Structure 1
Amino acid sequence: MDQAPGSTPDGAQSGLPVCYRHAGRETGVRCTRCERPICPECMVSASVGFQCPECVRNGSGTGHAPDANRPRTLAGGTVAADPRLLTKILIGINLAVFLAVQVRSSLLGDLVLVGQWPPAPFGATQGVSEGEWYRLLTSMFTHEAIWHIAFNMLSLWWLGGPLEEALGRVRYLALYLLSGLAGSALTYLLASPGSGSLGASGAVFGLFGATAVLMRRMRQDMRPIIALLVINLIFTFGWSNIAWQAHIGGLVAGVVIGFAMVHAPRDRRSLVQYGTCALVLAAIVVVTLLRTAQLT
């Protein structure tokens, strides 16, 4: 059948698709599971976006496209029975490390992010430049002060749950870890080699960035998340003894990865999403190698 001039494959004359259940009703909203266009009458509010009546009724998406035969998140991940399970696990790890540090304070020196220790003119025996790359990761789960871990874990719970549900566990975990590592890498690059850094702030700021991208994708009111982000940035640069590099590194990585997660074209979704994650990881490795070359 010929297509009318100016129309789309969905049948709209103005460039917008039409509701698959009501011909002639143009809409810019698609079901977050099967991605078919739905009008306001067919929209069923979900925890993230809207779903069509068939996905809500059938759950498994029976009768949809072959790649939509299982419930999927907005980013293409598998819908889990407990959408906050991974967030709970991450919080549990942070709390376990915090308690371990309280019981054995000497453990702190083995976990924090430090470039070189002791600093020049002494010969360094510890630090990332001495091959202890694991500190880029362990420092993300290490806290010393109660107020520090309380603030980060509250932020992780508030931001992490909705993101985990929207992205799926694997994509969410990649976002969290790479944001934290990006914050650690930028701190290692720009901070004094002998200064220590610790905390989940880099990963949390990555969640801030990804949340802003997700809310824009869902056309939600972004003023609350922007206001909260601005307040946190004010604290970042207004208070002393805060590793602003970790916050900025995590935020930038979170925005980049979050954009790839929610805007990747459906036919190349995994390639774009995991390809972006690989590029971010490569950038982290390059930054770490460059800084190590400067210090050795």
Structure 2
Amino acid sequence: MTHPTDNDPAQHPLEADAQHAHPRHPLDQAPVQRKAAPAQPRKKPEQLIRLPQRVKKPYATYVLLGLNIAIFVVGLLSAQANEWLLYHGVNIPYLTTHGEPWRLVTSMFLHANIMHIFFNGYALFYLGKLLEPLFGRTRFLLIYFLGGLGGSVLGTLMNEGGLGASGAVFALWAGELLYLYRNQGLYGEWGRQRMRQSMIFMGLNFAYGLFVNLTAEAGGTLIGNFAHLGGLIGGALLTYAIGPRIHIPPQTPTIINDIKVYDAEDQNASLTNWLPWLVAYGIGLLIIMVVAAQIISL
């Protein structure tokens, strides 16, 4: 007896037609077990550049962040304390230029509401983690305070009072952008991506400030865009003058795990190099304040 599948296809016209006129669809075939492609081993770099790192932990960033939050919480818990802080600390251009210049600094530690301190605090933390270890605490704090002071001064010149750490944060943003731009070859795609992110954040911040000020009703809350701009300009000038200038001198590399490690150096790490620039910056702010006092007194 023959097996049914041994029959002549001609005895089964439908089956024969199916076999010859309509070939079997590939998906009808039994699935073939495929082996997973082996994971490609991560290629070991041939060389690395070791940057000069001033500090391992950004403690100054944490202190500044904690100080801003603590002052805000005090004002939040006590209406009387909040009134005192605002009365004595907010940058009011007429008072600032007529005997109360400390408002230029105290206003940098006051915030209007939760969202205000949240965004400034987040930006400070985001920027401080990168800049403080690379710049060192001294240069980081100089850019933060003097850049923020530049924001307060420009705001005063434009008769724009206000409060908040935004001017100082914009100074750090300028510091980050200028540093990464100077050292594009070291940071590659990561540096370019971070620059794009920071420029987007800054652009959105400026756009939001313009929108709020243009749509605000009389007596409503305004955003200090000139303080932001002043901080940005001040931070760029300061970073250009005192920021790290990374250089890789000729050297015999250290071999670590078959990787050549080159040590970079900072050619602008001396205080004597910074001092003339800092003095010039301070004189510039003083001149602007004198001009602001004359304009506001008119």
Can you give the 5+ residue segments of structure 2 that lack an aligned partner in the other structure? Answer: 1-44, 185-190, 214-221, 247-265
Q: What is the distance in 2 between the residues matched to 1:168 and 1:230?
A: 27
Give the match for residue 110 of structure 2.
142
State which of 79, 82, 85 in structure 2 corresponds to 1:105.
82
Q: Greater helix share, 1 or 2?
A: 2
Judge conservation of contact 1:202–1:247 (CA < 8 Å) in 2: yes
Determine if the alignment matches structure 1 residue 85 to structure 2 residue 81.
no
Give the match for residue 294 of structure 2.
293
| CA deviations over 1:100-142 (Å, ceiling 9, x no partner) | 22212222111100022xxxxxxxxxx1122100000000011
Whose relative contact order is higher, 1 or 2, with alpha carbons under 8 Å and at least 6 apart? 2
Determine if the alignment matches structure 1 residue 161 to structure 2 residue 139.
no
Alignment of 1:1-80 (within 5 A): 41-43=46-48, 50-51=49-50, 72-73=52-53, 79-80=54-55
Give the match for residue 217 of structure 1.
182
Q: What is the distance in 1 between the residues matched to 2:175 and 2:269?
A: 20
State which of 227, 231, 239 in structure 1 corresponds to 2:200.
227
SS in 2 for 1:187: helix
TM-score with structure 1 setting the length: 0.67
Q: What is the distance in 1 between the residues matched to 2:177 and 2:56?
A: 25
Can you give the 5+ residue segments of structure 1 that lack an aligned partner in the other structure? Answer: 1-39, 44-49, 53-71, 74-78, 117-126
SS in 2 for 1:133: coil
1:160–1:268 Cα change, 3 Å: closer
State which of 231, 235, 239 in structure 2 corresponds to 1:254.
235
Judge conservation of contact 2:159–2:296 (CA < 8 Å) in 1: no
Alignment of 1:273-292 (within 5 A): 273-292=274-293
1:226–1:294 Cα change, 3 Å: closer
TM-score with structure 2 setting the length: 0.66
Counterpart of 1:227 in structure 2: which amino acid?
Answer: I
How far does residue 169 in structure 1 lie from its aligned partner after superposition? 0.2
SS in 1 for 2:46: coil
Q: What is the distance in 1 between the residues matched to 2:283 and 2:59?
A: 28
Q: Greater strand share, 1 or 2?
A: 2
Which aligned runs of 4 or more in structure 1 are off by greater than 6 angstroms? Answer: none
Q: What is the distance in 1 between the residues matched to 2:267 and 2:116?
A: 39
Look at both structures and tell me which one has the larger radius of gyration over its CA atoms: 2
State which of 207, 210, 224 in structure 2 corresponds to 1:237.
210
How far does residue 214 in structure 1 lie from its aligned partner after superposition? 1.3
SS in 2 for 1:143: coil
Aligned length, in residue pairs: 213
